[in-house]
Amino acid sequence: MSTYKYATLFLARNISVNQTRTFFSNLKCLDVTINRENGVAYVLMKHPPVNTLNMQLISELSLTLSNLEKSKCQGMILSSIFDKVFCSGLDLNELLKPKPERVKGYFSTFQELVIQLYGSSFPTVAAMTGHSPAGGCVLGMCCEYRVMKKNSQIGIPGSRMGIALPRYIVNLMSSTIGLRNAELMLTKGKILNTDEALKVGLIDEIANDRTDAIRKAEDFLKEYEMIAPLARGITKRIIRRSIIEDVKMNGAADLENFVSVIMLPEVQEKLDMYMYNLKNRKRD
Ligand SMILES: CCCCCCCC/C=C\CC(=O)SCCNC(=O)CCNC(=O)[C@H](O)C(C)(C)COP(=O)(O)OP(=O)(O)OC[C@H]1O[C@@H](n2cnc3c(N)ncnc32)[C@H](O)[C@@H]1OP(=O)(O)O
């Protein structure tokens, strides 16, 4: 059975049809369904083969978040229809031999998505059905809780790719796992397995499979059913304000800096090699 059919059946098994409504039917890279009873939105990435964050997927995620804010949704589970991969991160093709204006637009759209997801008023959980490298890890860190399927990998290999990360990514990692662990992880470009990620606090729970991941995500959201959404949302915003303000203050300068580094011939060479190795590595 195709992964897509499986995921659709999975949702149907968990929520009966009259309890759900499709939120948007014209999205290419996402399935968005809301459970009418508890107001939880299921946002499933479905951009084959590995949910690479191309401009379309980033834009659809951003549009969906805006609409969920307006719809007073009670919580969101961000997941993937693919069993092996949650999200493979930013599109490496956008980083290779980039045109300055295009690459600026691309990264600024991603930056806006990060702020939107990180600052959303409703509770958010990442049900990571598989590997979550780089931008996939960033999406996870923007959520309030992370459940990851066993035998998956997560981390940000920026240093190994020759990319110096912007401040907001470093800040996000530090706020998730602490300054010391973030320094060790990010300077080495370390990728962790599920047990290591749990130990360091990069994820909150390990799931056996997709169903278990979604169930655990739902259990986390259930804990908020008796909590006043307004008070919760305001508290979340206060806790998250410093990172958001920092991006508002320094995001444009960070972006300029990041783009000028990306364009350097030695960085391009390193990225080219990274892409070559990715395409030619032995698959498991
Ligand atoms: C202010 C400025 C803002 C700047 C923001 C910077 C933020 C920094 C944070 C993140 C940067 C990034 O996200 S860069 C992307 C880094 N991503 C990776 O390194 C992941 C690479 N992919 C993998 O490790 C694996 O693909 C996988 C573990 C995710 C899945 O493995 P699997 O074996 O299942 O699949 P394949 O490897 O065969 O992949 C299928 C197919 O997809 C291509 N692919 C995979 N990932 C990417 C990607 N990120 N971009 C482009 N293409 C990708 C892969 O090459 C295969 O293609 P082919 O079938 O043609 O070989």
Structure tokens at 89: 């991160």
Query: Which pLDDT tens digit goes with each residue over 110-158?
Result: 999 999 999 999 999 999 999 999 999 999 999 999 999 999 999 999 9
ipTM above 0.85, yes or no: yes
Query: Which pLDDT tens digit goes with each residue over 161-213?
Result: 888 899 999 999 999 999 999 999 999 999 999 999 999 999 999 999 999 99
Residue 105 sits in a domain whose CATH number is 3.90.226.10
State which ligand 1 atom lies nearest to the alpha carbon of 89.
13
Q: What is the mean pLDDT of residues 96-103?
A: 91
To the nearest 5 percent, what fractions of the chain are helix, strand and coil? 55, 15, 30
Residue-range definition of the domain harbouring residue 129: 3-282
Predicted structure pTM score = 0.93
**Per the structure, how many domains does the chain have?**
1
Which residues in 259-279 are b (16+ Cβ under 10 Å) and which e? beebeeeebbeebeebeeeee
Q: What is the pLDDT of residue 76?
A: 97
Cβ of 279 below 6 Å from ligand 1: yes
Taking the centre of ligand 1 as the mean of its atom positions, its distance from the CA of residue 41, in whole angstroms, is: 26
Taking the centre of ligand 1 as the mean of its atom positions, its distance from the CA of residue 189, in whole angstroms, is: 15
Cβ of 48 below 6 Å from ligand 1: no
More confidently predicted of 71 and 202? 202
